[in-house]
Amino acid sequence: MDVSQYLEIFIEEAKEHLQNLNEHLLVLEREPENENTINEIFRAAHSLKGMSGTMGYKRMQHLTHDMENVFSEIRNGKMKVSSNLVDVLFKGLDALEAYLTNIQTEANEGEDDNEDIITALNDILNAGLGIVSEQGSGASAAVQAAEIKPVAAEAKSDHGKMKFLDVKIEEHEKKAMVKAGTVGLNVVGLTVYIQEYCVLKGARAFMVNRALEEFGEIIKLNPSAQDLEDEKYDFEYSAFMITKETPDKLAKLAANVSEVKEVVADYYKLSEDDVVAFSKQINQEEVKAVQVQASEAVSLKSGSVAAAAKQPVKPVANRSVRVDIEKLDVLMNLVSELIIAKNGLVSISDSNDTTLDNSFHEQIEYLERVTTNLHESVMKTRMVPIESVVNRFPRMIRDLSKKLDKEMELYMTGEETELDRTVIDEIGDPLMHLLRNAADHGLESNAERAKKGKNPVGSIYLDAYQDGNNVVIEVRDDGAGINTERIKLKAIEKGKISEEQAARMTDKDIIDILFQPSFSTAETVTDVSGRGVGLDVVKTKIEALGGEIEAKTKLDEGSNFIIRLPLTLAIIQALMVIIGDEKYALPLGSIQTVEDILSTEVKDIQGKEVINLRGNVVPIVRLSKILGCKKPEKEPEELLVVIVKKGERLAGMVVDELIGQQEIVIKSIGKYIKNHKIISGATILGNGEVALILDVNSLV
CATH number at residue 302: 3.30.70.1110
Task: Band the pLDDT of 310: cuts 50, 70, 90.
Answer: very low
Residue 316 falls inside a structural domain: no
Residue 286 has pLDDT above 70, yes or no: no
Residue 493 falls inside a structural domain: yes
Residue 317 falls inside a structural domain: no
Q: Residue 48 and residue 61: Cα distance in Å, rounded?
A: 8
Residues 6+ apart with CB under 8 A from 570: 332, 336, 379, 382, 420, 422, 665, 666
Provide φ and ψ at 586, rounded to 5°. -115, 125
CATH number at residue 418: 3.30.565.10
Residue 180 falls inside a structural domain: yes
Question: Of 243, 278, 308, which residue constitutes the final position of a domain?
Answer: 308
Residue 610 has pLDDT above 70, yes or no: yes
Q: Residue 185 and residue 48: Cα distance in Å, rounded?
A: 41
Are both 188 and 333 inside the same structural domain? no
Are both 37 and 176 inside the same structural domain? no
Burial class (CB in 10 A: 0-12, 13-18, 19+), 282: middle
Lowest mean pLDDT among 365-369, 505-509, 619-623: 365-369
Are both 511 and 440 inside the same structural domain? yes
Lowest mean pLDDT among 522-526, 601-605, 618-622: 522-526
Are both 185 and 116 inside the same structural domain? no
Are both 424 and 548 inside the same structural domain? yes
Task: Band the pLDDT of 134: cuts 50, 70, 90.
Answer: very low
Are both 379 and 407 inside the same structural domain? no
Q: Please compute the mean of the pLDDT values over residues 615-634 and round it to a whole number.
A: 84
| 541: Cα within 13 Å, side-chain hemisphere | 19
Are both 276 and 349 inside the same structural domain? no
Quote the domain boundaries for residue 231: 163-308
Catalytic residues: 46, 68, 437
User: DSSP alpha helices (H): ranges in 238-283?
Assistant: 247-255, 272-281
Percent above pLDDT 70 for the chain: 82
pLDDT for res 230: 79
Q: Please compute the mean of the pLDDT values over residues 587-614 and round it to a whole number.
A: 86
Q: Residue 356 and residue 482: Cα distance in Å, rounded?
A: 65
Average pLDDT, rounded, for the chain = 78
Query: Quick one: CA dihedral 474, 480, 484, 487, positive or negative?
Result: negative
Q: Please compute the mean of the pLDDT values over residues 124-139 and round it to a whole number.
A: 56
CA distances from 469 to 29, 165, 466 (A): 39, 63, 7
Whole-prediction pTM value? Answer: 0.58
Number of helices (H), then strands (E), in the chain:
25, 22
Contact 300, 216 (CB under 8 A): yes
pLDDT for res 129: 63
Are both 27 and 117 inside the same structural domain? yes
Residue 155 falls inside a structural domain: no
Are both 406 and 549 inside the same structural domain? yes
Lowest mean pLDDT among 260-269, 324-333, 518-527, 550-559: 518-527
What is the 8-class DSSP label of residue 514? G
Question: Of 146, 174, 199, which residue constitutes the final position of a domain?
Answer: 146
Question: In total, how many domains does the chain have?
Answer: 5
Residue 489 C-alpha from the chain's centroid: 43
Are both 668 and 605 inside the same structural domain? yes
What is the 8-class DSSP label of residue 605? E
CATH number at residue 640: 2.40.50.180
Are both 433 and 499 inside the same structural domain? yes
Residue 448 falls inside a structural domain: yes
Q: Residue 242 and residue 220: Cα distance in Å, rounded?
A: 10
Contact 64, 49 (CB under 8 A): yes
pLDDT for res 150: 30
Lowest mean pLDDT among 376-385, 386-395, 438-447: 376-385
Provide φ and ψ at 444, rounded to 5°. -80, 170
CATH number at residue 76: 1.20.120.160
Among candidates 599, 651, 598, 656, which has minimal Cα distance to 620? 651
Residue 268 falls inside a structural domain: yes
Are both 508 and 577 inside the same structural domain? no
In the chain, the largest separation of any two C-alpha atoms, in whole Å, equals 106
Which residues are paired to 605 by β-bridges? Answer: 608
Question: Of 86, 113, 146, which residue constitutes the final position of a domain?
Answer: 146
Residue 122 falls inside a structural domain: yes
pLDDT for res 674: 57
When mean pLDDT is compared over 145-149, 221-225, 358-362, the highest value belongs to 221-225
CA dihedral defined by 215, 220, 222, 227, rounded to 10 degrees?
90
Lowest mean pLDDT among 203-207, 347-351, 374-378, 544-548: 347-351
Residue 648 has pLDDT above 80, yes or no: no
pLDDT for res 675: 53
When mean pLDDT is compared over 228-232, 472-476, 579-583, the highest value belongs to 472-476
